Amino acid sequence: MPFPAQSMSPAGVGWIVDAHRTGQPPRHDPRPPRSLLLGDRALEADMTGSPPQPVAAALDSDYYRIGIDARRRAHTDLADVSDITDDLEHRIENLLQRTLELLDGAPKPEAQPHIEWVG
Protein backbone atom coordinates (compact mmCIF):
# COMPACT_ATOMS: atom_id res chain seq x y z
CA MET A 1 0.00 0.00 0.00
CA PRO A 2 1.64 3.30 -1.04
CA PHE A 3 -0.05 5.40 1.67
CA PRO A 4 -0.38 4.77 5.40
CA ALA A 5 -3.57 2.99 6.42
CA GLN A 6 -4.24 5.63 9.08
CA SER A 7 -3.96 9.38 8.74
CA MET A 8 -1.03 11.08 10.41
CA SER A 9 -1.49 12.96 13.66
CA PRO A 10 -1.02 16.75 13.66
CA ALA A 11 2.18 16.25 15.67
CA GLY A 12 3.49 13.81 13.05
CA VAL A 13 2.74 16.24 10.23
CA GLY A 14 4.42 19.03 12.21
CA TRP A 15 7.50 16.89 12.76
CA ILE A 16 7.86 16.18 9.03
CA VAL A 17 7.29 19.83 8.05
CA ASP A 18 9.83 20.96 10.64
CA ALA A 19 12.36 18.40 9.37
CA HIS A 20 11.95 19.71 5.81
CA ARG A 21 12.25 23.32 6.99
CA THR A 22 15.55 22.58 8.73
CA GLY A 23 16.90 20.85 5.63
CA GLN A 24 16.91 17.37 7.13
CA PRO A 25 13.89 15.58 5.66
CA PRO A 26 13.19 12.04 6.82
CA ARG A 27 15.08 9.37 4.93
CA HIS A 28 13.08 6.90 2.86
CA ASP A 29 14.44 3.38 2.91
CA PRO A 30 14.35 1.66 -0.48
CA ARG A 31 12.04 -1.30 -0.79
CA PRO A 32 13.73 -4.68 -0.64
CA PRO A 33 13.90 -6.64 -3.90
CA ARG A 34 10.84 -8.71 -4.68
CA SER A 35 12.80 -11.93 -4.30
CA LEU A 36 13.51 -11.08 -0.66
CA LEU A 37 9.86 -10.30 -0.01
CA LEU A 38 8.58 -13.59 -1.44
CA GLY A 39 11.44 -15.83 -0.37
CA ASP A 40 12.36 -18.95 -2.36
CA ARG A 41 9.09 -18.92 -4.33
CA ALA A 42 10.18 -15.81 -6.23
CA LEU A 43 13.52 -17.37 -7.18
CA GLU A 44 11.81 -20.52 -8.47
CA ALA A 45 9.28 -18.50 -10.45
CA ASP A 46 12.04 -16.38 -12.00
CA MET A 47 14.03 -19.44 -13.11
CA THR A 48 11.19 -21.62 -14.37
CA GLY A 49 9.06 -18.98 -16.07
CA SER A 50 9.17 -18.77 -19.85
CA PRO A 51 9.17 -15.45 -21.65
CA PRO A 52 5.73 -14.24 -22.74
CA GLN A 53 4.72 -15.09 -26.27
CA PRO A 54 3.17 -12.48 -28.57
CA VAL A 55 -0.54 -12.92 -29.18
CA ALA A 56 -2.15 -12.09 -32.50
CA ALA A 57 -5.25 -9.97 -31.97
CA ALA A 58 -8.07 -10.63 -34.38
CA LEU A 59 -9.87 -7.36 -35.04
CA ASP A 60 -13.53 -7.30 -35.87
CA SER A 61 -14.35 -5.94 -39.33
CA ASP A 62 -16.30 -3.11 -37.64
CA TYR A 63 -13.41 -2.17 -35.34
CA TYR A 64 -12.49 1.09 -37.08
CA ARG A 65 -16.10 2.07 -37.84
CA ILE A 66 -17.03 1.68 -34.16
CA GLY A 67 -14.08 3.87 -33.13
CA ILE A 68 -14.93 6.56 -35.68
CA ASP A 69 -18.59 6.55 -34.60
CA ALA A 70 -17.55 6.90 -30.95
CA ARG A 71 -15.28 9.83 -31.78
CA ARG A 72 -18.06 11.47 -33.80
CA ARG A 73 -20.52 11.10 -30.89
CA ALA A 74 -17.98 12.53 -28.44
CA HIS A 75 -17.36 15.48 -30.77
CA THR A 76 -21.10 16.17 -30.92
CA ASP A 77 -21.58 15.75 -27.17
CA LEU A 78 -18.67 18.05 -26.32
CA ALA A 79 -19.40 20.73 -28.94
CA ASP A 80 -20.88 23.17 -26.42
CA VAL A 81 -18.18 22.77 -23.75
CA SER A 82 -16.30 25.87 -24.95
CA ASP A 83 -19.52 27.93 -24.78
CA ILE A 84 -20.15 26.69 -21.23
CA THR A 85 -16.62 27.53 -20.10
CA ASP A 86 -16.80 30.96 -21.76
CA ASP A 87 -20.08 31.67 -19.94
CA LEU A 88 -18.59 30.48 -16.66
CA GLU A 89 -15.51 32.66 -17.12
CA HIS A 90 -17.75 35.67 -17.87
CA ARG A 91 -19.80 35.04 -14.70
CA ILE A 92 -16.62 34.72 -12.62
CA GLU A 93 -15.32 38.02 -14.01
CA ASN A 94 -18.64 39.71 -13.14
CA LEU A 95 -18.50 38.34 -9.58
CA LEU A 96 -14.91 39.49 -9.21
CA GLN A 97 -15.82 42.96 -10.47
CA ARG A 98 -18.76 43.19 -8.04
CA THR A 99 -16.54 42.05 -5.17
CA LEU A 100 -13.93 44.69 -6.01
CA GLU A 101 -16.64 47.37 -6.19
CA LEU A 102 -17.95 46.31 -2.77
CA LEU A 103 -14.46 46.40 -1.31
CA ASP A 104 -13.72 49.82 -2.82
CA GLY A 105 -16.96 51.23 -1.38
CA ALA A 106 -16.45 49.75 2.07
CA PRO A 107 -15.17 52.06 4.81
CA LYS A 108 -11.50 51.58 5.52
CA PRO A 109 -10.76 49.98 8.90
CA GLU A 110 -9.06 52.32 11.32
CA ALA A 111 -5.41 51.68 11.94
CA GLN A 112 -4.95 49.44 14.94
CA PRO A 113 -2.30 50.40 17.47
CA HIS A 114 0.82 48.28 17.23
CA ILE A 115 0.91 45.78 20.08
CA GLU A 116 4.23 44.24 20.95
CA TRP A 117 4.11 40.92 22.71
CA VAL A 118 6.65 40.31 25.41
CA GLY A 119 7.04 36.79 26.47
List pLDDT tens digits, range 75-88: 999 999 999 999 99
What average pLDDT does the segment 28-50 reach? 63
Enter the pTM of the model.
Answer: 0.35
DSSP-based three-state secondary structure for 105: helix
Interacting residues of 66 by C-beta distance below 8 A, sequence separation 6+:
60
8 neighbors 17 (Cβ within 8 angstroms): no
CA angle, residues 69, 74, 76, in degrees to nearest 5: 95
∠ CA 48-51-55, nearest 5°, is 135
